[in-house]
Structure 1
């Protein structure tokens, strides 16, 4: 468990952090990374390391653009809560109020009510294909996790998701899922605009997140994506599988970012920079800025599923990301109330509000940049924690 009296950000934390990054690049576990560490809004450490493209030896740059995968979720969740504040939607609205055709059933054939609150907290009974073995229902239905199948429409993907029975009655359990994609379509229909336009108007433009969007605004700065390989990361082709969990795999189609016919995935579809993500997280940490009210930001960053267990020991869930309940159970030096998440293209981030500490680590290597030895070592280097 966390060491008593631990003192993060001592004079040596930057050196420890650089050692972790350099070692991961040298050992071929990640190809490149951009790391930002801020306290009370002041950037104390920044680093661009490794390659944006290994084959051409193109160095990583601080303002590199990454496919954000699930780093999209807190951005879209913030926009959703802005719509709640404006009275456009309510967290207790049934999803079917806005998407009448989206009526998935339980295994007994009954049709429960799925609310917007269920969607934003991942308690709707939905799932992700990458969490299931190859022949399970989401794969048989060819439902997309929002990372593959360029050209797939939202209408078709919703029909595929609806055809799969719910995993549990909404509100009775927690399961990471395509719920944010469904929420994105709710927002679009309720808001009378496309999801990209809503997010731009409500979040990214007001915050000056100029490089973050559902389209890639500067392809020259877009990093080459890599997937974990047996010896070293492998450059992704247009249809690339990366093993994940027990019997599962994540399906990537990097070219999806350039296909305007692909549905706007509220869970995984955006692109952006580390500095833009830091700006969003700092805005939420300090009360929501001009985007959402302080009480909304407080609710967003508080455990919203007390009594329910996630698949991550010691962690609950807020409205867009995980919330730390028990540092000892989670084997982390972070303080209770820390919020964090990541993205399968190779990203991790966290905010420790007790220390006014915000950390963003974007890499171009799936899955090693998101979970496991690298992000854990980054965290421990910042806190000076040995365990």
Structure 2
């Protein structure tokens, strides 16, 4: 176990943050680092709205995108603890019409475990070329198409062919959106109310949910661009791995948009850190320690390379199996993921670390040099 020296760590993080801003790779960011429960670094920098010259503040609200996934996964695991949901149950128990087929026409069972681990055979539009079936069927990634209902999106998704037999491989997917729909079927309430009761209220996450509690604090989103990031508008397509993701920033402001379990939440860095700290310290007050043990197990094998070589996947996050293969200073068992609007977080349990870096710049803040610079600055 390593205890970080606060002053050198802060200086390194300041340098990494200012360099990303000076090079116009990001527009603004909030970065938090906690070790053994103590916040040792807290910095807001850059602009929340560049054109209005509105500076970033620590309490800014961001569109969280996939940071929603571990939060909704935690809500699902509460249902498991309460005996309302079982991990090996088929999706058709609650969604009888959701029976996507393999290319050979067979319709294999998809379980809750498959959805939570992204081994269901489902995918995302942004991970396939423009002529792929998800694009042809106009399937939403939960980031676009304001006003679309979950029932309509699931009906489109059910027609798309599965990429592989469930359980046989790994592919990042809309699985957590389906989990959200199942929780609604079980509970009878909407996903926002469920997540509030099971996760955000017990943790006092007052700024985090499926709507924006204070529009004056909502950060403007930007997309990678040259010579500087460009302000996002609805319908913007942003390049990623030679493909593209489509965004509609207004989605979260449209009450008719379905609550996407995989991408539909907004919140602050402080709230995200509080959630991560609950996970790091064993789950209380939202989950039991044995549940956290299940969630933090590696379920798919490092060959999946969920965050590159050396990374597998648990429930809600990637799990670091081989730091040497990953080229990472993080300890084995580190949990990590991000968000498409420009975010990265990790929990290094062996070193007592929880790190949150929320930016308003897609995709630099999720997959760019910024994320490596922040990680390496933490460890020195």
TM-score under structure 2 normalisation?
Answer: 0.98
In the alignment, structure 1 residue 289 sits paired with structure 2 residue 284: yes
Q: 1:298 aligns with which of 284, 287, 293?
A: 293
Distance in 2 of aligned mates of 1:276 and 1:89: 27
What is the match of residue 334 of structure 2?
A: 338
In the alignment, structure 1 residue 221 sits paired with structure 2 residue 221: no
Residue aligned with 1:342, SS: strand
What is the match of residue 274 of structure 2?
A: 279
TM-score under structure 1 normalisation?
Answer: 0.96
**Measured at CA, do residues 25 and 194 of structure 1 come closer, stay the same or move farther in structure 2, by a change above 3 Å?**
same
Match runs of 1:309-324 below 5 Å: 309-311=304-306, 312-324=308-320
What is the match of residue 54 of structure 1?
A: 50
Q: Which runs of 4+ in 1 moved over 6 A?
A: none
Residue aligned with 2:367, SS: coil
Residue aligned with 1:370, SS: helix
Match runs of 1:4-19 below 5 Å: 8-9=4-5, 11-19=7-15
Count of residue pairs the alignment pairs up: 379
Q: 1:245 aligns with which of 241, 244, 259?
A: 241
Given that 1:9 and 1:383 are in contact with CA atoms closer than 8 Å, whether structure 2 keeps it comes out as no
Which of 187-196 and 360-369 deviates more? 187-196
What is the match of residue 265 of structure 2?
A: 270
What is the match of residue 148 of structure 1?
A: 144
Distance in 2 of aligned mates of 1:367 and 1:200: 28
What is the match of residue 250 of structure 2?
A: 255
Report Cα offsets for 1:91-121 as digits up to 9, x if no partner: 1110010011111011100010000010000
Given that 2:3 and 2:351 are in contact with CA atoms closer than 8 Å, whether structure 1 keeps it comes out as no
Alpha-carbon distance, 1:9 to partner: 4.2
Q: 1:79 aligns with which of 75, 90, 95?
A: 75
Alpha-carbon distance, 1:317 to partner: 0.2
Alpha-carbon distance, 1:383 to partner: 0.7
Given that 1:226 and 1:235 are in contact with CA atoms closer than 8 Å, whether structure 2 keeps it comes out as yes
Distance in 2 of aligned mates of 1:172 and 1:27: 42
What is the match of residue 198 of structure 2?
A: 202
Match runs of 1:44-193 below 5 Å: 44-193=40-189
Residue aligned with 2:168, SS: coil
Given that 2:208 and 2:266 are in contact with CA atoms closer than 8 Å, whether structure 1 keeps it comes out as yes
Distance in 2 of aligned mates of 1:238 and 1:329: 39
**Unpaired runs of 5+ in structure 1?**
none
Alpha-carbon distance, 1:11 to partner: 3.7
Q: 1:363 aligns with which of 339, 359, 365?
A: 359
Alpha-carbon distance, 1:306 to partner: 3.4
**Measured at CA, do residues 58 and 254 of structure 1 come closer, stay the same or move farther in structure 2, by a change above 3 Å?**
same
Report Cα offsets for 1:353-372 as digits up to 9, x if no partner: 00000000000000001112
Given that 2:64 and 2:339 are in contact with CA atoms closer than 8 Å, whether structure 1 keeps it comes out as yes
Given that 2:2 and 2:351 are in contact with CA atoms closer than 8 Å, whether structure 1 keeps it comes out as no
Alpha-carbon distance, 1:264 to partner: 0.7
Residue aligned with 1:159, SS: helix
What is the match of residue 353 of structure 1?
A: 349
Distance in 1 of aligned mates of 2:137 and 2:258: 17
Residue aligned with 1:12, SS: helix
Q: 1:36 aligns with which of 25, 28, 32?
A: 32
